[in-house]
């Protein structure tokens, strides 16, 4: 971050001095992703000057790596010709993303400048709902005919390959453009020139439906170690391909979303630093309110036992520690189960195994914690035997209950088709708090006769 | 999961009836990753029978997709010849992983059966510490000479390409095997046969050092949308390549690790369902103990204000709600910051921006929560004005303090080179609990004159 700040300062200064050739020299050695990062730190009015100094090779790729705010800034100063050059050089999936991100008037200009072919591809891609396979695919793939020879196939790739997202895997379709096979460039290279594609193609093709969720797409990539995955429509017509670099983005986004949900926030699409204060408030307040209101239950429980507490105020001192330990124990279990569910290592049918495992871990943890606590209560706090017994018994039972609840709730959520991530720390804590108080007061009454 | 259970039942039954041809027919249509998943649900004694029915093409790939427990089961029943066939067909990085996972006596057998070339590659790879670029790379890449013509390069790829992990990118090294350029198979295909590699190669190559952390490797892949990344040693000699499928594994592992740390557990390498009860206890108990002992502070605070509480027991009823809301507010902020740090959207120099943003969000959230709470206190709980004022003022200040602490601690951890993920929910909750109690008692004393 610091490095790009220094360099962006240099470029801005050079732009003010109109030393355009030096700027070109610097930019020429750089990679589009690095240039885009650099441009992120440049004043808005300097951005168009710098962008126009990029070579034509770099311009479109750099543009597609930029933030949508900066893309909009550029489009607004672009002449029609400049816009046309950039838009038609973009990969179709990047162009569709761009159209998705821009306000209506900018979209109109973009579509007007797009070639008919590009316009059609953009419109095709925009038909698919967000977060589906269709929304992250590109229609720019190499399509081969099963009757071609290897030599014909290579000639065909040579003539069109430069415009395709990748040529590493080529797809074979029948007369109705149904997907029938795939052949890797490696197979083409090692095969004899006269062999027919139908004889060397792999017919057992892994593919996804365009309406499939992108999280499932990521799972397929991971399971089969893929670089590219073909996408078909309901009739198995080949409509596009997904490349693994888009899957990395999906994984990153889904992980962020999971973590946000697990911390009781509404998931957000924008990076933290670019999210406005009001938006952050909107994402955070619903859960805070819901959890605060749920916590009323704990208040009610305490009120019901007010007399007991008044008789032995010392008991109050251990409430936070017991509640926290219960919450932490439960969060550990729920996080383990949520993560295992999202990696498909577990499903609902493993419920009994999970409960049995958590129960045993809970007993081990509960007894350890109670033992340490008992020592502390007797040696440092010097409380009576009855209070110590109440606290330690509560500890064992609370940890047991918390870990069971933490293990079961995500599985139940999965079964009920909720997102298991909702059952993370904050919700578990609220549920466990109420239970640990009840357990505590029961033991206190039993041991202290309150 | 269910599906593979059904099919594994069928295969086990067929194996008992010795219907080997039918099994072969079923397996032939399947993908190695699916076969490995299926074999995971098969009884241990049936596994070798089924494995031996795989075609030679499928055997090594299926083997590399299997769990290490099952790999060990197979190796133990393999004849030397069978072991030799599987080991030498593995990709070098999978072979090194295998050697890494097996007990010493099995490793000896594997290395004895490996070809000299494979043995050397395995030994090379094992030199690199876990979690470095070197540990996830493979030395099986296509190396070209800058003086070759395109035709010569293609001939060279044709003769050796089948053994390489990928031929989609080829690497050019100088006389001392230093990395000097890269050329994609696409460029080779569209270039004229007589052109020299040195004239068409890309010299601005992105690479990593073999000692680089694998998390940084994943970041480089993501930033530059790579499929393959070359790995060099300290003298810039090309030693291997990393393919993006291994990066997906890294991302998955790192995410799991982050989530485990954020839920106060020691990170674990094994999937939840395969982790023993004792191991889970070992991973969970240190943090539970540490947090329980830290929670002693809250007990001490309550004890100090015992008289105040005895005078107005109603105050106790709101302790859990205030502590929970503080904890939830703080966790939201710390999770946002931890995630932004791990995506490199933030660094320590953004500290002031984070604090200012969190402060404004906190005031909005705190006031909203206090207002709702005030309504509830007056209308439902019918507490006195003084208690309501104490609770609501505590709410505003607690949320403010919690969100500041939640925002700052991960940044501070990063600066001090700790893992920011440690500063997640459980630790924040413990810190915030103590603070919210102090704030509560201060307001209670002020408003109620206790």
The DSSP H or E segment spanning A252 is: helix A244-262
Task: State the SS3 of chain B.
Answer: CHHHHHHHHHHHHHHHCCCHHHHHHHHHCCCHHHHHHHHCCCCCCCHHHHHHCCCHHHHHHHHHHCCHHHHHHHHHHCCHHHHHHHHHHCCHHHHHHHHHHCCHHHHHHHHHHCCHHHHHHHHHHHCCCCCEHHHHCECCCCEECCCCEHHHHHHHHHHHHHHCCCCCEEEEECCCCEEEEEEEHHHHHHCCCCCEHHHHCECCCCCEECCCEHHHHHHHHHHHCCCEEEEECCCCEEEEEEEHHHHHHHHHHHHHHHHHHHCCCCCCCCCHHHCCHHHHHHHHHHHHHHHHHHCHHHHHHHHHCHHHHHHCCHHHHCHHHHHHHHHHHHHHHHHHHHHHHHCCCCCHHHHHHHHHHHHHHHHHHHHHHHHHHHHHHHHHHCCCHHHHHHHHHHHHHHHHHHHHHHHHHHHHHHHCCCCHHHHCHHHHHHHHHHHHHHHHHHHHHHHHCC
The DSSP call for residue A295 is: T
**Residue entry with tokens 């509480």:** B309
Buried (b) or exposed (e) across B387-408, using 16+ Cβ within 10 A? bbbbbbbbbbbbbbbbbbbbbb
Rounded to 5 degrees, what angle do the CA atoms A376, A377, A378 make? Answer: 95
The whole-angstrom separation of Cα B175 and Cα B153 is 17
The whole-angstrom separation of Cα B141 and Cα B167 is 7
**Which of A335, A340, A377, A380 is best to mutate for the B interface (most B CBs within 10 A)?**
A335
The whole-angstrom separation of Cα B446 and Cα B448 is 6
**Which of A187, A263, A368 is best to mutate for the B interface (most B CBs within 10 A)?**
A263
The whole-angstrom separation of Cα B95 and Cα B64 is 8
Rounded to 5 degrees, what angle do the CA atoms A34, A37, A43 make? Answer: 130
Q: What pairing do the DSSP bridges indicate for beta strands B238-243 and B228-232?
A: antiparallel
Write the DSSP assignment of A111-175 as a string of letters: HHHS-HHHHHHHHHHHTSPTTBHHHH-BS---EE-TT-BHHHHHHHHHHHGGGSS--SEEEEE-T
Residue of A nearest to B333 (CA): A263
**Residue entry with tokens 């190669």:** B201
pLDDT of residue A357: 94
B108 contact A CB<8A: no
Reading the block at residue B349, the tokens are 């120099």
pLDDT of residue B35: 92
B304-326 residue pLDDT tens: 888 888 888 888 889 989 999 99
pLDDT of residue A388: 93
pLDDT of residue B3: 56
Reading the block at residue A435, the tokens are 């239970």
pLDDT of residue A302: 86
Least CB-CB distance to B259: which of A298, A299, A335?
A335
The DSSP call for residue A381 is: I
Share of residues in chain A with pLDDT > 90 (%):
57
B7-58 residue pLDDT tens: 888 888 898 898 999 999 888 888 899 999 889 888 888 999 999 999 888 8
A204 contact B CB<8A: yes
Residues 127-186 of A with CB under 8 A from B: 154, 157-158, 161-162, 166-168, 185-186
A184-216 residue pLDDT tens: 999 998 888 889 999 999 998 999 999 999 999
Least CB-CB distance to B309: which of A313, A321, A373?
A313
Residues 3-32 of B with CB under 8 A from A: 29-31
Burial group, residue B83, by CB count within 10 angstroms (0-12, 13-18, 19+): buried
Question: ipTM score here?
Answer: 0.84
CB-CB under 8 Å, A325 with B291: yes
A2 contact B CB<8A: yes
Least CB-CB distance to A340: which of B225, B255, B273?
B273
Among A210-219, A339-348, B209-218, B350-359, which is the least confidently predicted range? A339-348
Q: What is the mean pLDDT of residues A282-288?
A: 92
B318-355 residue pLDDT tens: 998 999 999 999 999 999 999 999 888 888 888 999 99
B152-193 residue pLDDT tens: 999 999 888 777 888 899 999 998 999 999 999 999 988 888
Among A49-63, B130-144, B304-318, which is the least confidently predicted range? B304-318
pLDDT of residue B132: 94
The whole-angstrom separation of Cα A67 and Cα A36 is 8
CB-CB under 8 Å, A340 with B271: yes
State the distance between the two ends of chain B, measured CA to CA, in whole angstroms.
62
Answer whether residue A372 shows pLDDT above 90: yes
What are the beta bridge partners of residue B241?
Answer: B138, B230
Residue A323 with chain B: CB contacts under 8 Å: 320, 323
CB-CB under 8 Å, B335 with A368: no
A382 contact B CB<8A: no
Q: CB–CB of B75/B110 below 8 Å?
A: yes
CB-CB under 8 Å, A425 with B206: no
Give the number of other CB atoms < 10 A from CB of residue A220.
18
CB-CB under 8 Å, B288 with A369: yes
Within its chain, how far is the Cα of B100 from the centroid? Answer: 19
pLDDT of residue A4: 62
CB-CB under 8 Å, A317 with B299: yes
B329 contact A CB<8A: yes
Residues 219-278 of A with CB under 8 A from B: 221-227, 243-245, 247-249, 251-252, 255-256, 258-260, 262-265, 271-273, 277-278
CB-CB under 8 Å, B256 with A255: no
Residue B267 with chain A: CB contacts under 8 Å: none
CB-CB under 8 Å, A260 with B336: yes
Reading the block at residue A247, the tokens are 């899957």
Answer whether residue A3 shows pLDDT above 70: no
Answer whether residue A260 shows pLDDT above 80: yes
């Amino acid at each position: 971050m610091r490095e790009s700040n220094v360099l962006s300062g240099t470029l801005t200064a050079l732009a003010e001095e109109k030393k355009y050739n030096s700027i070109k020299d610097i930019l020429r050695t750089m990679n589009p992703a690095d240039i885009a990062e650099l441009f992120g730190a440049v004043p808005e009015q300097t951005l168009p000057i710098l962008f126009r100094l990029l070579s034509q090779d770099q311009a479109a790729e750099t543009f597609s790596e930029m933030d949508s705010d900066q893309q909009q800034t550029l489009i607004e100063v672009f002449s029609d010709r400049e816009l046309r050059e950039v838009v038609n050089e973009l990969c179709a999936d990047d162009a569709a993303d761009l159209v998705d991100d821009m306000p209506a008037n900018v979209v109109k200009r973009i579509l007007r400048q797009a070639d008919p072919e590009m316009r059609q591809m953009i419109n095709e891609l925009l038909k698919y709902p967000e977060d589906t396979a269709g929304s992250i695919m590109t229609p720019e793939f190499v399509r081969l005919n099963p009757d071609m020879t290897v030599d014909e196939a290579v000639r065909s790739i040579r003539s069109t390959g430069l415009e395709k997202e990748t040529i590493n895997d080529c797809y074979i379709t029948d007369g109705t453009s149904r997907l029938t096979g795939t052949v890797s460039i490696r197979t083409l290279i090692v095969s004899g020139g006269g062999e027919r594609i139908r004889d060397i193609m792999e017919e057992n093709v892994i593919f996804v439906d365009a309406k499939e969720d992108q999280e499932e797409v990521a799972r397929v990539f991971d399971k089969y170690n893929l670089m590219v995955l073909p996408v078909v429509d309901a009739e198995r017509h080949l409509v596009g391909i997904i490349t693994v670099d888009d899957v990395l983005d999906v994984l990153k986004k889904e992980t962020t979303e999971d973590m946000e949900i697990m911390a009781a926030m509404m998931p957000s699409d924008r990076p933290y630093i670019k999210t406005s204060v009001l938006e952050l408030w909107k994402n955070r307040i619903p859960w805070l309110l819901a959890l605060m209101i749920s916590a009323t239950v704990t208040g009610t429980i305490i009120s019901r036992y007010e007399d007991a507490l008044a008789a032995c105020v010392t008991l109050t001192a251990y409430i936070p520690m017991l509640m926290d330990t219960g919450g932490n124990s439960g969060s550990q279990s729920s996080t383990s189960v949520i993560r295992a569910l999202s990696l498909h290592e577990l499903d609902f049918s493993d419920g009994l195994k999970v409960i049995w495992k958590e129960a045993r871990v809970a007993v081990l943890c509960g007894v350890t914690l109670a033992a340490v606590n008992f020592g502390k209560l007797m040696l440092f706090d010097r409380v009576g035997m009855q209070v110590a017994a109440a606290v330690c018994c509560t500890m064992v039972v609370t940890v047991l209950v918390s870990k069971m609840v933490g293990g079961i709730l995500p599985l139940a959520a999965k079964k009920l088709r909720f997102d298991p991530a909702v059952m993370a720390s904050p919700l578990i804590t609220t549920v466990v708090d109420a239970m640990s108080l009840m357990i505590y007061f029961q033991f206190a009454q039993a041991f202290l006769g309150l």
